[in-house]
Structure 1
């Protein structure tokens, strides 16, 4: 159950951080306005809180593992929200990152 909780929290954190960054991007680069930017800032703040709910107590481990989730999640977000089509190297890189997440977070430790 702890692994499932951790994976759900990683997914929530990814939506908050990637979504928040995307909203800021839309507000600034696509000239959608201050409301988009403000919503993005709030979402980025929620990401910070989501990370604190992880069952593991090591900040460095959580953020290092989240980096891999962020890589894969960013590609997925781009596909859904912007029509981005990753090439095979993008997909291979994301898979390597996700394997890294599994090793960092869930490898047996003494």
Structure 2
């Protein structure tokens, strides 16, 4: 159950961080206004809190592992929100990142 909880927290963190950055992008780059950018800032703040709920006590480990989730999640966000089509190398890279996440977070430690 701990691994499932951790994966769900990573997914929520990705939704908040990537979604927040996308909202800021929309507000500023796409001229949608300060409301969009402000909502993005709130989502980004929420991401910071979600990361603290991981059970591993090491900030560096959690954030390093989250980096791999961010890579894969960003590509997925691009597909869903912007019509981006990743090529095979994008998918291979994302897969390698997720393997790295699994090793960093879930490898047995003594």
Q: Which runs of 4 or more aligned residues in structure 1 lie more than 4 Å from their structure 2 counterparts after TM superposition?
A: none
Q: How far apart are 1:80 and its partner, in Å?
A: 0.1
- Counterpart CA distance in 1 for 2:29 and 2:98 is 29
Structure 1 partner of 2:102: 102
- Counterpart CA distance in 2 for 1:93 and 1:7 is 19
Q: CA RMSD in A?
A: 0.3
Structure 2 partner of 1:25: 25
Q: How far apart are 1:74 and its partner, in Å?
A: 0.1
Q: How far apart are 1:52 and its partner, in Å?
A: 0.2
- Counterpart CA distance in 2 for 1:5 and 1:45 is 21
Give the alignment's TM-score, normalised by structure 2: 0.99
Count of aligned residue pairs for this structure pair: 110
- Structure 1 runs not aligned, ≥5 long: none
Q: How far apart are 1:91 and its partner, in Å?
A: 0.3
Structure 2 partner of 1:59: 59
Structure 1 partner of 2:68: 68
Q: How far apart are 1:47 and its partner, in Å?
A: 0.1
- Counterpart CA distance in 2 for 1:29 and 1:100 is 32
- Counterpart CA distance in 1 for 2:80 and 2:50 is 22
- Counterpart CA distance in 2 for 1:26 and 1:90 is 24
